[in-house]
């Protein structure tokens, strides 16, 4: 696979993953680009998962240097978005992706341990167990259990955030 095809396949997901870690779309794009530049310096046979690992490291460095936290939005505004996503307007197309839904998913991912978030995004991006395993330094047979636990944590976190949002909406209403 050449770099262009690799870029088209993974760049949007990388940006999205980094946006979730950093809360800053422009910075996410910048770091996703940097990950690809580093790939040019170190061509690999199976770079898919490697890109996520490098992107995660870049995000960690960026947070450290800028004093950022992964959760960039205030709890209050996050709850408002959660409440809006939990109680869609009548007639709203449930299948349609909304900005609120995207923010809810992104914020929920940001609450997870970094490895869990990376695993879920890589899996959704169709990166193989073998590549994920090689990138994060575990045996391929460990990916199934890790992924299953990450999915459970994600669902639990999503549920608790939605519940919190509903409670806050009731309290303020």
Partner 1 sequence: MREHPAEGELQALLDRELPNARALVLRAHLLRCAACRARADAARETAALVDALLRRTTPKVDSDSAWERLVVRSGGRAATARPIVRRWTPVAAVALAAAAFIATLTRGASWPGARADPLALVREAQAHPASSLLRDACCSDHDGGDRPDDGLLTLSSVGEKVTVVIVYEDVDRSGTFTHGDIVRYVSTIPHGTPVAHTVR
Q: Return residues touching partner 1 (CB under 8 A).
A: 1-4, 6-8, 11-13, 15-16, 19, 25, 29, 33, 36-37, 39-40, 43-45, 47, 97, 101-102, 105-106, 109, 120-121, 123-124, 128-130, 134, 140-149, 151-152, 154-155, 158
Rg over alpha carbons for the chain, rounded to the nearest Å, is: 17
Phi, psi of 10 (to 5 degrees): -105, -20
Nearer to partner 1, 83 or 118 (CB): 118
Residue 151 beta carbon to partner 1: minimum distance, rounded to whole angstroms: 5
To partner 1, the closest distance from the beta carbon of 106 in angstroms equals 7
Alpha-carbon 58 to chain mean position? 14
Minimum distance of partner 1 from residue 168's CB (angstroms):
22
Shortest spacing between CB 169 and partner 1, in angstroms: 21
- The secondary structure of 95-107 as a DSSP string is TS--HHHHHHHHH
Of the two residues 92 and 124, which places its CB atom closer to partner 1 in the complex? 124
CB-wise, 52 or 129, nearer to partner 1?
129
With respect to partner 1, which residue has the nearer C-beta, 93 or 173? 93
The answer to whether 101 touches 165, Cβ cutoff 8 Å, is no
Provide the H-helix boundaries in 42-136. Answer: 48-66, 75-86, 99-111, 114-124, 129-136
What are 2's two structure tokens?
């050449």
* Nearest to partner 1 of 155, 171 (CB atom): 155
CB of residue 67 to partner 1, shortest distance in Å: 25
Both tokens of 168, joined, read: 């806050």
Residue tagged 């839904």 (tokens):
101
């Amino acid at each position: 696979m050449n770099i262009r095809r690799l870029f088209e396949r993974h760049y949007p997901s990388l940006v999205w993953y980094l946006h979730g870690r950093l809360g800053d779309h422009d910075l996410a794009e910048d770091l996703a680009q940097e990950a690809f530049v580093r790939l040019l310096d170190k061509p690999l046979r199976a770079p898919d998962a490697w890109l996520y690992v490098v992107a995660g490291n870049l995000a960690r460095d960026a947070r450290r240097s800028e004093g950022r936290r992964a959760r960039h939005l205030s709890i209050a505004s996050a709850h408002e978005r959660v409440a809006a996503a939990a109680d869609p307007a009548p007639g709203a197309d449930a299948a349609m992706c909304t900005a609120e839904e995207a923010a809810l998913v992104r914020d929920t991912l940001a609450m997870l341990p970094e490895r869990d978030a990376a695993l879920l995004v890589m899996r959704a991006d169709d990166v193989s167990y073998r590549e994920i395993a090689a990138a994060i330094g575990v045996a391929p047979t460990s990916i199934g259990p890790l992924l299953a636990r990450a999915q459970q944590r994600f669902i639990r976190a999503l549920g608790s955030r939605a519940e919190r949002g509903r409670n806050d909406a009731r309290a303020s209403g």
